[in-house]
């Protein structure tokens, strides 16, 4: 006999709020670790000055230990957050996307974009395995809000600040020569590296 639920299942919004809280806690832990690291470093320096331990020997040992740990753990997990700006008032570059889209195929919408908490409040979707990177379609690497045929942005009014302020004109991943309207060769991997991502801590968590 299956147990009957007395409460409705959690909504996506509730789940995401929970995840955000987890990520905040994770960042706080990271900051606390930074503090511990600075204390240990200070202690080593004091002991070195007192000729009790030798700083270089400690550093060499630490590098060896770090290399070992890195090999064991792989790439550190990170939380990506977009710039803390008011996306509704940022300066937008003067680019006539509508007339260029048939050439560029909206390559900008295959780059990695970090969301800010305001974007999350606006309901924009993110990659659960790479918080808070704007979610992309596995099938073609485009942002999930890029309409498949036209590449029109389906969340245009709420799009993240990075999308608004991004200037593709000098980006060689997008244009070989913007003035000559010559797009860069197509790259399958372009969405993988997070070139537009900015990593920062929320203001309330910084010391």
Residue 104 as a binder of ligand SF4 (CB under 6 A): the answer is yes
Beta strands, E only, the chain: 175-177, 182-183
Q: Is 153 in the site for ligand SF4 (CB under 6 A)?
A: yes
Site string for ligand SF4, 171-200 (x = CB under 6 A): ---x--------------------------
**35 vs 148, beta carbon nearer ligand SF4:** 148
Of 21-29, 67-75, 78-86, 141-149, the window that binds ligand SF4 (rule: CB under 6 A) is: 141-149
- For residue 82, the 8-state DSSP code is -
Binder to ligand SF4 among 100, 184, 190, 201 (CB under 6 A)?
Answer: 100
Count other Cβ atoms within 10 Å, centred on residue 47. 14
Distance of CA 65 to the CA centre of its chain: 28
Which of 115, 168, 196, 197 forms a contact with ligand SF4 (CB under 6 A)? 168
Is residue 85 a contact partner of residue 161, using CB atoms and an 8 Å limit? yes
* Minimal distance, residue 109 CB to ligand SF4, in Å: 3
Q: Which is nearer to ligand SF4, 27 or 159 (CB)?
A: 159
User: Which range binds ligand SF4 by CB under 6 A, 40-48, 79-87, 143-151, 185-193?
Assistant: 143-151
Q: Given the rule CB under 6 A, which of 19-27, 57-65, 151-159, 194-202 is the region that contacts ligand SF4?
A: 151-159
78/164 with CB nearer ligand SF4: 164
Number of residues counted as binding ligand SF4 (CB under 6 A): 20
What distance in Å separates the CA atoms of residue 47 and residue 53, rounded to the nearest whole number? 6
31 DSSP 8-state letter: H
User: Rounded to whole angstroms, how far apart are CA atoms 141 and 78?
Assistant: 21
Cα distance between residue 25 and residue 139, in whole Å: 33
Q: Which H or E run includes 100?
A: helix 97-104
Cα distance between residue 91 and residue 194, in whole Å: 22
Dihedral angle over CA of 90, 93, 95, 97, nearest 10: -40
Binding footprint of ligand SF4 on the chain (CB under 6 A): 95, 97, 100-101, 104, 106-109, 113, 134, 143, 145-146, 153, 155, 159, 163, 168, 174
């Amino acid at each position: 006999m299956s147990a009957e639920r007395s409460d409705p299942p959690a909504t996506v919004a509730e789940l995401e709020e929970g995840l955000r809280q987890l990520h905040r806690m994770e960042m706080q832990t990271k900051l606390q670790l930074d503090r511990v690291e600075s204390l240990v470093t200070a202690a080593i320096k004091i002991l070195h000055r007192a000729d009790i331990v030798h700083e270089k020997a400690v550093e060499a040992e630490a590098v060896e230990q770090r290399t070992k740990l890195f090999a064991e753990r792989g790439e550190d997990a990170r939380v990506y957050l977009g710039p803390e700006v008011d996306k509704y008032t940022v300066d937008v570059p003067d680019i006539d996307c509508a007339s260029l889209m048939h050439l560029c195929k909206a390559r900008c919408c295959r780059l990695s974009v970090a969301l800010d908490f305001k974007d999350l409040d606006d309901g924009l979707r993110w990659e659960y395995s790479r918080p808070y990177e704007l979610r992309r379609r596995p099938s073609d690497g485009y942002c999930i809000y890029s309409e498949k045929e036209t590449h029109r942005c389906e969340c245009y009014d709420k799009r993240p600040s990075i999308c608004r302020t991004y200037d593709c004109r000098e980006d060689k991943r997008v244009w070989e020569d913007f003035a000559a309207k010559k797009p860069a060769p197509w790259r399958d991997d372009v969405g993988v590296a997070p070139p537009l991502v900015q990593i920062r801590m929320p203001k309330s968590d910084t010391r």
